[in-house]
Amino acid sequence: MYHQASWDEPLLIERSHPGKIGHLPTLPSELEKKTVGETSRLVPASLRRRGPPPLPELSEPEVIRHFIRLSQENYSPDLGIYPLGSCTMKYNPKSSELAVQTPKLEKLHPEQDESTVQGMLALMFNLERILAEITGMSRMTLQPAAGAHGEYLGCLIMRAFHRSMRELDKRIEMIVPDSAHGTNPASAAMAGFKVIVVPSNSDGRVDLDALANVAGPRTAGLMITNPNTLGIFEKDILEIAEVIHNAGGLLYYDGANFNPLLGKVRPGDMGFDIVHLNLHKTFATPHGGGGPGAGPVGVTKALERFLPIPLIEFDGKKYSYNYHLPDSIGKIREFFGNVGILVRAYAYILNLGSDGLKVVAETSVLNTNYVLSRVMASGLYELPFARERKHEFVLSAKSLSGQGVRAMDLAKRMLDHGVHAPTTYFPQIVDEALMIEAPETESLQDLDLLVDTLISVYREAQTSPETVKSAPHSTSVGRIDDVKASHPKTLTLHWSIRSSESRGSDAS
């Protein structure tokens, strides 16, 4: 059992005791005087503080205990299975963390002259080559900070392409399947396109007739993920590509679901023109609290000239920045993206090798299908659409409507079993959706824990629905009002000092 912290956990500043010091001065003051002199001299009097800032004053153990307590209120892939479908929350190997924990990297500055950062440029150049090989693309940019950022860049590249064909005025429509992740239509709309939704057929795949009906001279492109968000492989992808290309559009691959295809199939060979990868999903780098991530974007030879600047080139002797790309859409992010994430992904790929990446894909499909088979054998949940799934599947909890229990209630009750909840209510084409992904890094014991939990919460919902509807019961924070939590008028994030001993009591 871990420490039960509470919603009212005091802030560091509230634990502060004036005069307490938890560290040794880093620079001996004599040395400081010799090197930089009296620093306060350098700041104009009008800008100098009149007193010291109201920082918390605590001992080292107090600070450490505070953060460890907070970390125990959280859940992460370092603590247990995290079956959040579509997000690929796999374990982040510590060898990748070691790769970034070096002063050689920490002390690099992006404004350094290229002659002094040859090693970093070599790494980014090699990573680009590897990712291009894995996806079947010609060149990649490593700049985008996330999948959605990559999608937006992909849309800008489509615009640049259609402009170069003098067709931008009429190619105003972006087609997305109704199973698409919300970021696809959002990115397309942000880039100025009108979103056209194409329905799924009874298998859960893109309806080819419906696609043929909407594709035409107004089509800028199609954004699609494969396998789709139901975990179903779009086996007609070559035909889909043909329909879009014949209409004069481009094909965008949302690589968030690339995990089960690693080393098996390449989006380039499926007919895609633009691809993004989510390094924080497929390549096991941390997701962070909404970032930082990395969403490198690859393109075919014909679209290379639109990529963001700079590209990194190698002439056989040295690496250099190439800013000379007159048709480039410009820059999509300052400097070179989240370099620390790129290094972790590079370490991950080199550690596994091409054979290891294939094992990742196979094991992710195997693990997910093991969970799916056991859940289906229980006869409790419904599985809308085709049975065959890759790395994820979407159950429906609709059959519990008689008890008044919803997917959200089951998800919350799962937390009481020490298991992270699946993704809920997505994709929207499944009623009361529970979207489950069991990545390759999970053990058989954890997969069984997930299945046993899914079965147990369902059975409990049949016999004592009230217990499920009021869950979670054993977490440090109970059921959160998610409408309140996401509404700017009701969500209050400021804090105020409660302890009279604390300094800076005017802060709030």
Ligand X SMILES: *Cc1c(COP(=O)(O)O)cnc(C)c1O
- Residues making contact with ligand X (CB under 6 A): 86-87, 146-148, 181, 183, 225, 229, 254, 256-257, 278, 293, 295
Nearest to ligand X of 229, 502 (CB atom): 229
Cβ at position 291, least distance to ligand X in Å: 8
Cβ at position 293, least distance to ligand X in Å: 5
Question: Is 497 within 8 Å of 505 (Cβ atoms)?
Answer: yes
Cβ at position 299, least distance to ligand X in Å: 18
Cβ at position 475, least distance to ligand X in Å: 25
Q: Is 492 helix (H, G, I), strand (E, B) or coil?
A: coil
Omega of the bond prior to 227 within 30 degrees of 0, cis?
yes
Name the region of 153 (left: φ>0; alpha: ψ -120 to 50; beta: rest). Answer: alpha
Nearest to ligand X of 229, 369 (CB atom): 229
Token pair in block for residue 368 = 């997910």
Cβ at position 465, least distance to ligand X in Å: 31
Query: Looking at beta carbons, which residue is closest to ligand X?
Result: 147
Name the region of 291 (left: φ>0; alpha: ψ -120 to 50; beta: rest). Answer: left
Cβ at position 79, least distance to ligand X in Å: 21
DSSP state of 310: P
Q: How far is 256 from 287, CA to CA, in rounded Å?
A: 13
Nearest to ligand X of 205, 469 (CB atom): 205
436 forms beta bridges with 84, 393
Q: How far is 468 from 382, CA to CA, in rounded Å?
A: 19
Nearest to ligand X of 147, 221 (CB atom): 147
- Give whole-number Cα distances, 313 to 53, 125, 296, 307, 317, in Å: 47, 7, 17, 14, 10
Q: How far is 295 from 144, CA to CA, in rounded Å?
A: 5
Nearest to ligand X of 87, 99 (CB atom): 87
Nearest to ligand X of 96, 183 (CB atom): 183
Q: Which amino acid is at 504?
A: G
Nearest to ligand X of 293, 308 (CB atom): 293
Cβ at position 343, least distance to ligand X in Å: 18
